[in-house]
């Protein structure tokens, strides 16, 4: 018997819960991310199933945790890809068999492949009705239709360290906050301090460290876990938890550079200019010394998209601004990072 409902699937009283996943072991957003937080042991077993090939398109993986049967249902192969209706169909064929095999009497199913997956819900709904019509009518099938209102709560406290304090301190100092400004403030903190606290590499919008994106997500979950709405409260909770002589010493060392980097970022009115300046700075950090023409050439070779978005005049203006701000300096051969920064990075 199929029943349509909405709300929080993870609070369902059903015997089994279906979790939509990919085959690469990444539960980064949507219902899969909610399952990852609620059922951490299932996530570990799912990762193993991906590595061994046990979980594939058309093959389901199930795991029992906290009295629930979790059925990991792949609607896509690659985590960055969109779901495919044929993958949902193959999975439903297997789900019918698994319901009978495990003797499941009630099961809750999310809108398979819809939402973040990109499939049209009405198409998926018709397919679910068609395929699950073969299931014993005594089995209760709860179909959760798409909803944007559910927010999951972490089951365990996210693990944060000094890096979490650093990012929260950066956010506190920024007048305008977004992911690009967070990344670039951390980048200039590294530049000004002469430390490789983060690991920046080339990215679409200039220097980027993926660990910062992961930490940012963990900070949000940390706030949810502790029921606090702002970063400052989360900072105090984390600080009191991990405070030690070593933590205090490291923070005291980094905070002047955090403040200096944030002041610099706050003075820039547009993210376009910030991307330009941070890209030039990264090139000089990487190449050590470049002429103006070489900076323009390296900048244009960064990517085709970047080459189209920034004119030569933009880049030259960026060089001039960095010079005026005493972040780079002229040499007989061209430009370098200001020597106090450059020596620290060697």
Residue 30 pLDDT class (50, 70, 90 cuts):
confident
Q: Which of 219-233, 269-283, 292-306 has the lowest mean pLDDT?
A: 219-233
pLDDT in tens, 118-168: 888 989 999 999 999 889 888 999 999 886 554 555 667 889 999 999 999
Q: pTM of this prediction?
A: 0.59
Taking a C-beta distance cutoff of 8 angstroms, is the pair 116, 30 a contact?
A: yes
Cα separation, 304 vs 251, in Å, equals 39
Q: What is the pLDDT of residue 288?
A: 92
**Measured between alpha carbons, how far is residue 88 from residues 91, 125, 131, 140 in Å?**
5, 11, 10, 20
pLDDT in tens, 49-101: 999 989 999 999 999 999 999 999 999 998 878 899 999 999 999 999 999 99
What CATH number is given for 2-144 in this structure?
3.40.220.10
- CB hemisphere CA count around 226 (13 angstroms): 21
Q: How many helices (H) and strands (E) does the chain have?
A: 14, 8
What tokens were used for 73? 């249902």
Cα separation, 35 vs 18, in Å, equals 9
pLDDT in tens, 250-286: 999 999 999 999 999 999 999 999 999 999 999 999 9
List, as one string, the DSSP characters of 249-272: HHHHHHHHHHHHHHHHHHT---HH
Domain edges within the chain: 2-144, 162-345
């Amino acid at each position: 018997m199929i029943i349509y409902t909405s709300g929080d699937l993870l609070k369902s009283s059903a015997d089994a819960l279906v979790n939509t996943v990919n085959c690469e072991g990444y539960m980064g957003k949507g219902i899969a991310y909610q399952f990852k937080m609620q059922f951490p042991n299932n996530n570990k077993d799912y990762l193993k199933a991906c590595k061994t090939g046990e979980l594939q398109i058309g093959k389901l993986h199930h795991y029992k945790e906290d009295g629930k049967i979790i059925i990991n249902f792949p609607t896509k192969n690659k985590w960055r890809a969109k779901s495919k209706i044929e993958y949902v169909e193959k999975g439903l064929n297997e789900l019918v068999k698994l319901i009978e095999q495990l003797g499941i009497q009630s099961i809750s199913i999310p809108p398979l492949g819809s939402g973040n997956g990109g499939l049209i819900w009405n198409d998926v709904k018709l397919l679910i009705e068609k395929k699950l019509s073969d299931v014993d009518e005594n089995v209760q099938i709860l179909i959760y239709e798409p909803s944007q209102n559910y927010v999951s709560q972490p089951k365990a406290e996210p693990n944060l360290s000094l890096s979490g304090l650093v990012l929260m301190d950066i956010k506190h100092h920024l007048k305008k906050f977004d992911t690009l400004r967070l990344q670039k403030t951390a980048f200039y903190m590294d530049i000004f301090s002469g430390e490789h606290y983060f690991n920046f590499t080339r990215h679409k919008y200039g220097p980027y460290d993926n660990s910062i994106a992961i930490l940012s997500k963990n900070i949000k979950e940390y706030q949810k876990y502790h029921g606090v709405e702002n970063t400052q409260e989360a900072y105090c909770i984390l600080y009191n938890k991990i405070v030690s002589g070593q933590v205090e010493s490291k923070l005291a060392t980094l905070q002047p550079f955090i403040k200096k980097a944030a002041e610099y970022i706050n003075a820039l009115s547009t993210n376009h200019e910030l991307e330009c300046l941070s890209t030039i700075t990264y090139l000089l950090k990487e190449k050590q010394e470049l002429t103006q023409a070489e900076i323009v050439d390296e900048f244009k070779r960064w990517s085709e998209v970047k080459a189209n978005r920034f004119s030569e005049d933009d880049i030259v203006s960026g060089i001039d601004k960095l010079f005026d701000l005493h972040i780079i300096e002229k040499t007989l051969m061209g430009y370098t990072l200001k020597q106090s920064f450059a020596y620290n990075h060697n």
